[in-house]
Chains A and B, each alone.
Chain A
Amino acid sequence: MLDLFPSREAGPFGRRLKRERGARIPVTVVTGFLGAGKTTLLRHFLASPEGQGTAVIINEFGAVGIDDALIRDSADETVLLGNGCLCCIMRTDLQVALRRLVFDRERGTVPPFARVVIETSGLADPGPILQTFSTDRALGGEFHIDVVLAVVDAVNGEAALEEAAEARKQVIFADRLVISKSDLVEPATVEQLTHRLQQLNPRATIDIAVSGVLDPHRIIEPVADERSGFVAEAAHSDGIASFVIEMAEPIEWLTFARAMETLIALRGSDLLRVKGFLDVLGSRGPIVVQYVQHLAHAPVELESWPAGERRGRVVFITRNVLERQVRDLFVAVQALAKVEP
Chain B
Amino acid sequence: MAATDQSPISKGYQPVTWNFKLLANDMLAGFGGMGEGMSVQIAPDGRRIIWLAHESAPKNFTAVDVSDPRKPKVVCQTDLPHADMRSNSLETCGNMMAVAYQTSKKDLQPAGFELFDISKPENPKSISFFDCSGPTSRGVHQLWFCDGEYVHCASGSRDFIPTNPSDDQFYRCVDVRNPAKPVEVGRWWMPGTRQGDNVRPPSRHPLDKGFRAHNTNVYPQRGDRCYLGYIDGGMFVLDISDKANPKKVSQWTNSPPYTGFMHTVVPLFDRGLMLVTDESTENNCKDWPKLIWVLDAREESNLVPIATCPLPDHAIYAKAGRFGAHNIHENVPLPTAWHSDQIVLGTFFNGGLRAYDISNPYQPKEVGVFMPPAPPGAPTGTIQMNDVFVDERAIVYTVDRHIGGLYILEMDF
Contacts and interface: CB of A to CB of B under 8 A. Distances in A.
Contacts of B365: 23
B9 interface: yes
Nearest to A105: B312
Residue of A4, A5, A7, A15 with most chain B CB atoms under a 10 A cut-off: A5
Interface stretch (A68-76, A153-161, A203-211): A68-76
A96 to B, nearest CB: 6
Interface string A2-14: 1011111110001
A189 B343 CA distance: 53
Given A5-B271, A78-B4, A112-B18, 11 more contacts: A2-B360, A5-B272, A9-B340, A18-B411, A22-B413, A23-B368, A77-B9, A79-B3, A82-B1, A97-B3, A114-B17
Given A22-B367, A106-B312, A108-B313, A15 B16 contact: no
Nearest to A53: B16
Contacts of A114: 16-18
Interface string B142-171: 000000000000000000000000000000
A195 interface: no
B7 A78 contact: yes
9 contacts: A4-B272, A10-B359, A15-B343, A15-B359, A17-B413, A18-B413, A72-B6, A100-B3, A111-B16
B9 A111 contact: yes
Interface centre among A14, A79, A106, A111 (most CB of B within 10 A): A111
> Which among B6, B8, B366 has the greatest number of chain A C-beta atoms within 10 A?
B8
A107 B312 contact: yes
Interface residues of B, number: 44
A80 interface: yes
A23 B8 contact: no
Given A7-B271, A22-B367, A14 B359 contact: yes
A116 to B, nearest CB: 13
A8 B270 contact: yes
4 residue pairs, one from A and one from B, having the closest CB atoms: A23-B367, A23-B413, A5-B271, A108-B312
A299 B303 CA distance: 33
Interface of B: 1-4, 6-9, 11, 14, 16-19, 270-273, 296, 298, 310, 312-313, 315-317, 340-343, 355, 357, 359-362, 365-369, 411-413
A162 B275 CA distance: 61
Contacts of A10: 342, 359
Interface in A296-325: none
A7 B341 contact: yes
Nearest to B271: A5
Contacts of B3: 79, 97, 100
A67 interface: no
Contact of A15 (B316, B342, B368, B412): B342
Contact of B1 (A15, A53, A79, A108): A79
Contacts of A78: 4, 7
B14 A111 contact: yes
